[in-house]
Chain A
């Protein structure tokens, strides 16, 4: 009985450690994940917070300076009739192009632009290519 109790304590320590690590890990590293539509409706409320926003690169919106690596584009919604300006500094990801789905991670300044620290390209077709139905 005593033996068993020691075991349960040992196991409980591991379980508690895992729970603690998961709990603090989530508290310290979590960021809001919003679609562009959700972001556009509540953007002022989430200004200044760590955000991940998924949207589409707006048509004719990409301004890229290959010398300074400054990138500006509009992160637009599905219909491309509304969006937010995004600034980013760094190398263009291979899959980045107008009309592609991207995820930006960074912060949004009040009334301003979204500054992206990371720019991820989840290509819309993913690994499924679109078929040329001609």
Chain B
């Protein structure tokens, strides 16, 4: 069984390399048969990688402890879902999982483009298969998932308890889908550069893929935050850890690209800039993988220092070299055809939005690798922590929030005074009133007040867009308000889906601002019967309970919770002790409402004195981060939802009317 896995990986590597060569030679020498063969090889690679993954899954599920990987990341008492998740719980398995996703996407891309993009596709095949071959080479030569132990183990070391959490089931796959999804736009960008076909085709072909990757990067980051919040027990959700940054940076650049690409589609500008953003996004995903695998910067997340670092550096440098050569070769073709007319225009707003996104990415990058740089330059490692990232990124983030209100609403080319008055008077007023009201009611955190004020401004601009659009439809088409709204969104999915995403983002901003500026934290070491007061909460330590199971033992503190004097709930913060790994873990007790989260941690329990340390966090509005995430999902579904053929026909028929309507909307 295991031999099949080993063989499959080797054959996949050979197949991948063949596909690269066949695709490039086939395209260069105009040999369609060779190109077809490269496509077949890409399918075969996918099948072989899938076979290898199934073999590893089989070994994990059947608890084959003769395999080093299985013995390291699972145990006989580990529940089935976690044995399945153990595939991405360790180094080799997660690399295999990575290639599995990449080759699956490669197959989908090839199927989608069987009849399309004949000129681009060979280079897309070559690029995707080069990436696959790199990861396969690591799996075959450096870190094999099918290594056998000299003597089969009788029991596994178990999956890290921190990973035994349901968020862990979905967070890494989501992030990987996002990371790997960035390879597809990258592959098309390379193909466009290689063939010199730098028109809109490659961008339109990959729009959905870019959105797909962006979507999973967003969701992956939020799930990771949620996992940290529930599992790590420090009351927060984001620590600017290098691994978090590694996933955050490609998201930032990808988001910048999604915005600036609209300028290219509409105005044929920023071609070079867009190309750079696509290439940079992909490089950052590889860089992120490198960060997590090399141990170059210390992180609580890192995998073992596995010696993979140099390979990733070499791969990254090779990519950058190829990219620089290609872009230089094609720089004439990447010239834009138009210039920006005015500061007060949508083009300018998008450009500034882009600079802010890239600025935040740059600051994050700089802070993350600063220890490495300072060591190289000054011979001493200097590190910056969360204060650096908060200090730098908060003002930039707020500026970005402001642009979220401006960008989608301001007129193209040159905004007239009338356009500005019409679009921004009410929202600006509302923003100011909100800010003053919050300030007057005694909240004195300036950044948070500014954030709420800007949020009100942005939400108002979005609301007005929906309101005006719906009203215009009602007036012109005589539709009912509900029908007008659904038609408005349905016929302009990109635009209004985009607004919905912005609403989600504003919610995330509000949640982050409130929970970081106004959180309460209290730590008390108390005896049974003692009371702790935090904000409106009154917590009574009633009792402590001990339980014992096969997989772990645990102790639970019984805490009676009163809010403003009335009993609301009994909560049980827990400390578990995982037996295989001899490791305690904290299981947070959480009472989550739309207003605030009450977050209880059983810090420690001292048998001798009977003293228990309780850590209490009250995090206001933190739930809106996750709700914002769901709204973002909804918005992305709207943006990506395909329009059926009949709707397209209908749209064509309605085009004339639509144009009239568009004019009415302006």
Contact = CB atoms under 8 A, between A and B. Distances in A.
Whether both chains belong to one complex is answered with yes
B343 A6 contact: yes
A64 to B, nearest CB: 9
B90, B91, B384, B606, most chain A CB atoms within 10 A: B384
B339 A4 contact: yes
Q: Which among A7, A18, A24 has the highest number of chain B CB atoms within 10 Å?
A: A18
A67 B371 CA distance: 38
Contacts of A11: 351-352, 355
B380 A14 contact: no
B146 to A, nearest CB: 14
B387 interface: yes
A52 B163 CA distance: 27
Interface residues of A, number: 50
A65 B605 CA distance: 10
B581 A129 contact: yes
A67 B606 contact: yes
A122 interface: yes
Contact of A33 (B359, B381, B387): B381
B382 interface: yes
B395 A21 contact: yes
Interface in A20-37: 21-22, 24-26, 28-34
Interface in A25-57: 25-26, 28-34, 52, 54
B609 A52 contact: no
B157 interface: yes
B300 A14 contact: no
Nearest to A64: B604
A66 B300 contact: no
Interface in A116-134: 120-122, 125-134
Contacts of A68: 525
A42 B374 CA distance: 18
A22 to B, nearest CB: 5
Contacts of A131: 68, 71-72, 149, 153, 157
B157 A32 contact: no
A42 B585 CA distance: 36
A112 interface: no
Given A122-B302, A131-B157, A15 B359 contact: yes
B304 A125 contact: yes
B626 to A, nearest CB: 24
B366 interface: yes
A17 B383 CA distance: 22
Contacts of A121: 300
Interface in B143-188: 149-151, 153-155, 157-160, 163
B25 to A, nearest CB: 41
Contact of A25 (B348, B355, B392, B601): B392
Contacts of B418: none
B343 A7 contact: yes
B388 interface: yes
A18 to B, nearest CB: 4
Contacts of A30: 370, 374, 382-384, 388
Contacts of B300: 120-122
Contacts of B309: none
A69 interface: yes
Contacts of A7: 340, 343, 348, 351
B90 A127 contact: yes
Contacts of B71: 131-132
A122 B71 CA distance: 22
Nearest to B612: A66
A62 interface: no
Given A54-B298, A131-B157, A29 B387 contact: yes
Given A30-B382, A32-B380, A33-B381, A22 B586 contact: no
A6 B362 CA distance: 24
B609 A66 contact: yes
Interface in B471-504: none
A95 interface: yes
Interface string A61-90: 000011111000000000000000000001
A22 B365 CA distance: 11
B72 A33 contact: no
Interface in B303-328: 303-304, 306
B341 interface: yes
A10 B345 CA distance: 13
Most buried by B among A3, A31, A66, A95: A66
A91 interface: yes
Nearest to B152: A134
Contacts of B340: 3, 7
A106 to B, nearest CB: 13
Nearest to B615: A91
B603 interface: yes
B180 to A, nearest CB: 20
B525 A69 contact: yes
13 contacts: A3-B339, A4-B339, A11-B351, A17-B396, A18-B359, A25-B367, A26-B366, A94-B584, A122-B300, A122-B302, A127-B304, A129-B73, A133-B151
Given A26-B370, A127-B301, A128-B303, 11 more contacts: A11-B352, A14-B359, A18-B359, A21-B395, A25-B367, A29-B387, A94-B583, A97-B583, A128-B306, A130-B157, A131-B157
Interface of B: 68, 71-73, 89-91, 149-151, 153-155, 157-160, 163, 233, 295, 298-304, 306, 339-343, 348, 351-352, 355-356, 359, 362-363, 366-367, 370-371, 374, 380-385, 387-388, 391-392, 395-396, 523, 525, 581-586, 601, 603-609, 611, 613, 615
Across chains A and B, which 5 residue pairs bring their CB atoms closest together, nearest first? Answer: A66-B606, A91-B603, A33-B381, A18-B359, A128-B304
